[in-house]
Amino acid sequence: MTTDTPAVQTVEWLTAEQQVHWRSFRGGAARLFAALEHELEQQTGLSTHEYEVLVRLSEAPDRTLRMAQLADNLAHSRSRLTHTIRRMEEQGLVARLPCVEDARGVNCTMTEKGWQVLVAAAPSHVQSVRDHLVDVLTPEQFAALGDAMETVRQHLTGGACHVE
Amino acid sequence: MTTDTPAVQTVEWLTAEQQVHWRSFRGGAARLFAALEHELEQQTGLSTHEYEVLVRLSEAPDRTLRMAQLADNLAHSRSRLTHTIRRMEEQGLVARLPCVEDARGVNCTMTEKGWQVLVAAAPSHVQSVRDHLVDVLTPEQFAALGDAMETVRQHLTGGACHVE
DNA sequence: CCGTGGTTGTTGAACTGTCAACCAAACTGT
DNA sequence: ACAGTTTGGTTGACAGTTCAACAACCACGG
């Protein structure tokens, strides 16, 4: 944006080429995530959010994480996570335990059933990711995609973190 | 789950490197879209879905599209679009008219108010896209991102590509 | 020790999206 | 002409998300 132009348009618009790329990105990402969500749901009964919860827990020490850490990992709001975990607890996939060091805290851990469900779900999900993303691109394209989005992610989480 | 999980399955897992890229992509895209959604909502009161509806209509002949075309453009379900359009109609942003050629059809058109709202919203949204995506990457990175996701999109839509 | 302010997590209401059922109009084949 | 099928769009119930308010707890300075 220019400093002192009182012109009608102080905004720097996207070039035609940039707009094409932006729309490809938005449209492609939306369709990709929708397809993955749909296939995971059909094949395993899990939503991608539930799946991600199980993945994070499976990688944590004692397969346990504080609610806040889990929320940060997933970039979900606290309340959203509370609701998700309550539903998963009802299904027996996870359990909540009070946190010893901090009485405010809640430790979320995955149950044996949760582990089984994850192990059963992972193969088909990985296959979906390969089918619709990894194997569709050249290794160089896929690596470039990952690198670019890592830059975007770090910029969003490092720099001026918006309110909320 | 980690890639060196005992592979009982015959599934081809992601390599460690692929997994890093996949997670960067998923995490970066999720945070990016969340940030854009949040900023657009704060600055203009529109959701990104409503914004996209207005964009598509603004580009169509007579600023009018059939419901099904709009739904396909946005990759939204019919019922979702019906709900969205009903809400936007209540806000006076769009209007629905019966379709002459096909009595089943409904033409959705944007009102003058809808146009004004879009014109007012576009600059800040474009700026958000620049701030969090376009200007964070090199032009080459951004172009590669767009190209890769265009490939993904075409693969998912069966190669049938209507220009967005 | 008390109070103030920040953090952690939950709750319930309002909103948005999903899914299946549905109606009406258009095509299809006989 | 007409039953059967397909397409276009809507509806209502349900599931998931957001938002603001809240309760409980920590941490730090009088």
- One-character DSSP codes across A78-122: HHHHHHHHHHHHHTTSEEEEE-SS-TT-EEEEE-HHHHHHHHHHH
Tokens of residue B23, six digits? 């997670």
Task: Give the percent of chain B with pLDDT over 70.
Answer: 90
For D25, nearest residue by CA–C1' is: A104
d(CA A126, CA A140): 19
pLDDT at position B12 is 72
Would you place residue A12 in the very low, low, confident or very high pLDDT band (cuts 50, 70, 90)?
confident
Strand C reaches within 7 A of the B150 CB: no
- The pLDDT of residue A161 is above 50: no
- Of A124, A120, A122, the C-alpha closest to A132 is A124
Mind telling me how many Å the CA of B127 is from chain A's nearest CA? Answer: 7
d(CA A96, CA A67): 9
Separation in Å, CA B102 to CA B57, B110, B127, B162: 19, 20, 40, 21
**DSSP state at residue A15:** P
d(CA B155, CA B160): 9
Would you place residue A115 in the very low, low, confident or very high pLDDT band (cuts 50, 70, 90)?
very high
Mind telling me how many Å the CA of B18 is from chain A's nearest CA? Answer: 8
Parallel, antiparallel, or unpaired: how do β-strands A64-66 and A106-110 relate?
A: antiparallel
| A11 to B38: CB separation less than 8 angstroms, yes or no | no
Average pLDDT taken over every residue of chain B:
90
Would you place residue A163 in the very low, low, confident or very high pLDDT band (cuts 50, 70, 90)?
very low
Strand D reaches within 7 A of the B86 CB: yes
DSSP E strand boundaries for B24-121: 64-66, 94-98, 106-110
pLDDT at position A114 is 97
Mean pLDDT of A101-110: 95
DSSP E strand boundaries for chain A: 64-66, 94-98, 106-110
pLDDT digits (tens, 9 = 90+) for A121-143: 999 999 999 999 999 999 999 99
d(CA A146, CA A26): 16
pLDDT digits (tens, 9 = 90+) for B49-84: 999 999 999 999 999 999 999 999 999 999 999 999
| Chain B residues with beta carbon closer than 8 angstroms to that of A58 | 1
| Chain A residues with beta carbon closer than 8 angstroms to that of B29 | 29, 33, 149
pLDDT digits (tens, 9 = 90+) for B92-134: 999 999 999 999 999 999 999 999 999 999 999 999 999 999 9
| A30 to B156: CB separation less than 8 angstroms, yes or no | no
**Contact by Cβ (8 Å): A53, A114:** no
Domain borders along chain B are 18-151
Question: What's the fold here for domain A19-128?
Answer: Arc Repressor Mutant, subunit A (1.10.10)
Mean pLDDT of A52-63: 96
B-interface mutation test, from A17, A26, A43, most B Cβ less than 10 A away: A26
pLDDT at position B125 is 96
- The pLDDT of residue A96 is above 50: yes
**Chain B 74-133 residues whose Cβ is under 7 Å from strand C:** 76-77, 79-80, 83-84, 87, 102-104
The residue count for chain B: 164
- The pLDDT of residue B33 is above 50: yes
User: What is the architecture of the domain spanning B18-151?
Assistant: Orthogonal Bundle (1.10)
